Amino acid sequence: MKTVLRNGRILAGEDFRDDVAVLIDDGRIVALAAADDPQLAAADEVVDLGGGWLMPGFIDVQVNGGGGVLFNNRTDVEALRTMMAGHRRYGTTGMLPTLISDDAGVMARALQAIRDAIAAQVPGVLGIHLEGPYIAPARKGTHDAGKFRVPDADEVQMVTSLDNGITLITLAPERVPAATIQQMVANGAIVAAGHTAATYEEIRAGLDAGLTGFTHLYNAMSPLQGRDPGTVGAALEDAGSWCGVIVDGVHVHPASLRVALAAKPRGKVFLVTDAMPMVGSDNPAFELYGEVITAVDGVVRNAAGALAGSALDMVTAVRNTVKLLGLPLAEAARMASTYPAQFLGLGDRYGQIAAGYQADFVLLDRDLQVQATWIAGQRD
């Protein structure tokens, strides 16, 4: 069925345009066309966007939970469906459900759940993010250090076995041999540094071995200092790598985020939520490693006071990027869609409103509140 989206401010290229309509057919964008273009007349459905902001659907590569579900506690297809539905309310049309450090058996079940969800065409599930357990005790955050280990050859094969989606692995490069990182990358995984106490030199070695990203920049990693650049210094210096950032006003000071944006080439910093189950749920509490954790005033901490993920959603991250960092809405939207798609190697199919791309959109009103989403041309 051919559908036309018209009368909106459409993010096409560098900025928003109000002189084009979007033609969709079979889940993909066929064309951006002038309102009087004859090919639009053949549409089966015309949707009036009411002057709203139409952007590429948001892509979140770090989603621990949503809709009341924590992925570590529910490694099944219905849990993934619930998580995705919880985040779709806030503009997310693609995500990597994220499993934090756990036992090999839980990891294997999580991978199978992702494989099954993608095979069942659960909307929005693009792959998996394994955040740990190959990380540093000194920068563990809320992760259980009792789960930490160095993967052997069999485990490397297991964690890179997803054959129908993206695999992102966050690890501490000082804990994992370079040859192991190289094998993960050779097996098709994307590898990022995070929860790491690495020196600058150790991060450089990790980049040489195949690291291409940094997980929640500034958080749970060795800081930039004058005589010790650490992980942050290496991340900011390296032009080829990507950095995910949590723009909630809690995890990172806005000035530090502006420094990252100034240091990195445009397009190499993107938004993540690091969301926990309360996003898309009325319940502010969840259980992790047997401990009940509750969000207080929107901030999620464990009993020891460590930040334990966030209660952030993607549309709020976009609003915060405009308000706290002073970026134009178009660039904030790209940080939530175009740039994460490129990081995942999906930039030729997702993250833009252009002919040939999947028809994933989010429609915002003048207050930047979500009015509707589409995944593969299907409206929520």
Residue ranges for the binding site? 131, 142, 195, 216, 219-220, 227, 251, 307-309
Report the distance separating Cα 313 and Cα 15, nearest Å: 23
Q: Is the dihedral of CA 231, 232, 237, 242 positive or negative?
A: positive
Report the distance separating Cα 203 and Cα 3, nearest Å: 48
Which among 224, 83, 182, 72 is positioned nearest to 133, based on CA atoms? 72
Report the distance separating Cα 19 and Cα 264, nearest Å: 33
- What is the three-class DSSP state of 236? helix
Report the distance separating Cα 216 and Cα 195, nearest Å: 9
Report the distance separating Cα 260 and Cα 237, nearest Å: 10
Report the distance separating Cα 186 and Cα 359, nearest Å: 31
Active site residue 76: no
CB 322 within 8 A of CB 330: no
**Which phi-psi region, left, alpha or beta, contains residue 78 (left: φ > 0; alpha: ψ -120 to 50)?**
alpha
- Residues tagged in the binding site annotation for Zn(2+): 131, 195, 216
Bridge partners, residue 171, by sequence: 193
Point out the catalytic residue in the list 238, 274, 313, 360. Answer: 274
The pair of structure tokens assigned to 248 is: 């909630």
Other beta carbons within 10 angstroms of residue 40's beta carbon come to 18
Helical H runs in the chain?
77-88, 104-119, 153-159, 178-186, 200-209, 230-237, 254-263, 314-325, 329-336, 338-343
In sequence order, the 6+-apart residues with CB closer than 8 A to the CB of 186 are none
User: Catalytic site residues?
Assistant: 274
